[in-house]
Structure 1
């Protein structure tokens, strides 16, 4: 039986990758890919660019020009928010510093300089995210055959010696704050939504995408299988959860059921005593999508009322509701392992890092419950 060929101009390299070589008007071109199908697709795209006069050869392509190719190659493979963050980092930091440089001429010292300049005004984790993006782009340039080695390969990330997440932005309300907050929240349209978040620990995007069919009264569960996020163009859409572990079921207790009952009654008043199973559980007062900003505005107004009632409260956003739920859960004897699944964390270490500050407060109570006979 004759050996199956890959096609004219295609070959499999020793490193396992595929390569296509061809000549146009005496000039040699090549593309590389991990699979034959991807290599053939890149081959066709390159030929079309050359035909239209749009191709920029490897020796002359700038970082700005390569960013457009890198961005296009990632389209559909990363979530909208991820793409938006990458666009922001490139537009505000990477492009102004490196955009006009030819990729083949870039040097390690330029990337180190960018890192040092950013470190003067940003925290290490933010700087590291930007440099990681530069590294990703240059690694892709190596894979595309533009470079033989990335000049950023030996650039080390900055050490982040700041406080742990549990000691910084992950702030939970005290019991006093929580009680007054819930009381003064009543005038807000998003009263039930915010209480729902406080009782379940869900994110705003998750709460905004829940429909009544996700509320499973038979199995006493709320199914979190979607979330609201933004596309690469900045538009809001409903899609898969933040991560695989974010797709989860949350058991309902009486407090959650009361909040849902109140919300259903509110919707019946608005929609004429009819609530559809595919209808969102929570919606804006105009019947449209719920956004983070409007929820945070309701929280901000409530904080103002708390201060008017004599309780000076540090500003917080909707994420504090998730932290408050987790803190009360642990304080009242809940298992960190179970909390991990309710919050949709990918690891127990993540849960412990965020909420370990609560555990010392429960040690005495738990020790008092241990009975050892002797």
Structure 2
């Protein structure tokens, strides 16, 4: 029986306190190996023992841990560990790694990785005034990689530095990503003669992702039930090769009930497509021959061309002396969410239409306009006035 340093408290069977050295020892015979660790406190000794037992279970050796760098872990993750990752996810991870992690922690061995290294990455993001979305993506990838290292036994949970570093603060103020109905209608008016005018209208009245819209086939439209079947996503490799993949998440596979404006955009696009495709029908056989949205050669639409078109439209609006916020492709989803909610559409319906996994994500897209906030605030005043009038009538 061993006692604590107070000479009274009985210690667990595997804990011993050395009074001369004023040190605790935790030991255990495990899988034929006698293991013991010292610590200034009982908790410290036990923590070191638990860590070693975990390493034995995971077949880790200190030498193995010390030889694995963050860069090697990254390559293993996007290659051997998760070959099922979508090409677009791998592209995004490689971009984030190359631009924000490689120069700071790529060559650092996992055994030597400290909170200090993670803080250096965060400091760089703050110095470069990166947007909140970019910071979140870098943090998410860091968390994923280091959790994978723990799961694979390359790093113990106690040595994982990610949870020990606070998220960056003092980031740039979030830029407005939404717009009013008037600004939406103004944009569509100026986009009238664009090759992608119908695409813009469909995006603004459905909240679809651009890749989902560009992957639509003619057969995805159910005219009888006024429904659009969203089941695919158009992507392009870094080599410029187009391919079809499943949408971003399980919830992204969905049916969208078409409002008249969206139906009108699709009908107009079918007419435009007929003009473009009929003369060159024989040249576009294959996987993409029934795409709804095509370029002037009947081929898949390049998102880069869409972005350039949007920029030209915004420049034209401003050149004419009109007020126009910055508009980009993804902002159209934000605009759809904000306008739909302001119109009284239930948030869960908006969530289903845009294909978000959670309603919290949809709420992050929500940017209420001042006029809407004012009108809703007035309703509160009306409720108080109605209550006061009712109270007086009862007196």
- Range with bigger deviation, 182-191 or 72-81: 72-81
By how many angstroms is 1:208 displaced? 0.1
Q: TM-score, normalised by structure 2?
A: 0.69
Spell out the pairing of 1:213-292 with structure 2 (5 A cutoff). Answer: 213-230=219-236, 235-272=241-278, 279-292=290-303
Q: Decide which of 100, 119, 126 is 1:119's aligned counterpart.
A: 126
- Range with bigger deviation, 78-87 or 245-254: 78-87
Distance 1:18 1:91 in 2: 34
Q: 1:357 is paired with a residue of what secondary structure?
A: coil
Aligned alpha-carbon RMSD (Å): 3.7
By how many angstroms is 1:364 displaced? 6.3
Q: Decide which of 173, 178, 183 is 1:171's aligned counterpart.
A: 178
- 2:205 is aligned to 199
Q: Alpha-carbon deviations, 1:183-210, whole Å to 9, x = none? A: 2212211111111112212121111011
By how many angstroms is 1:289 displaced? 1.1
How many pairs were matched up? Answer: 324
Structure 2, unaligned stretches of length 5 or more?
1-52, 391-395
Q: Contact 2:229/2:254 (CA < 8 Å) preserved in 1?
A: yes
Q: Decide which of 137, 142, 151 is 2:145's aligned counterpart.
A: 137
By how many angstroms is 1:307 displaced? 2.4
**Which one has more relative contact order, counting CA pairs under 8 Å at least 6 apart?**
1
- 2:189 is aligned to 183
By how many angstroms is 1:124 displaced? 7.8
Q: 2:368 is paired with a residue of what secondary structure?
A: helix
Distance 2:72 2:379 in 1: 60
- 2:5 is aligned to none
Q: Contact 2:70/2:105 (CA < 8 Å) preserved in 1?
A: yes
Spell out the pairing of 1:74-153 with structure 2 (5 A cutoff). Answer: 74-123=81-130, 125=132, 126-127=134-135, 129-148=137-156, 149-153=158-162
Distance 2:176 2:88 in 1: 20
By how many angstroms is 1:232 displaced? 8.1
- Is 1:158 the counterpart of 2:162? The answer is no
Pick closer, same or farther for the CA change 1:219–1:237 going to 2, 3 Å: same
Q: Decide which of 308, 312, 316 is 2:327's aligned counterpart.
A: 316
Q: TM-score, normalised by structure 1?
A: 0.73
Pick closer, same or farther for the CA change 1:297–1:74 going to 2, 3 Å: farther
- 2:393 is aligned to none
Q: 2:269 is paired with a residue of what secondary structure?
A: helix
Based on CA coordinates, which of the two structures has the bigger radius of gyration? 2
- Range with bigger deviation, 255-264 or 130-139: 130-139
Distance 1:272 1:152 in 2: 60
Pick closer, same or farther for the CA change 1:221–1:97 going to 2, 3 Å: same
Pick closer, same or farther for the CA change 1:72–1:31 going to 2, 3 Å: farther
Distance 1:186 1:169 in 2: 25
By how many angstroms is 1:278 displaced? 6.7
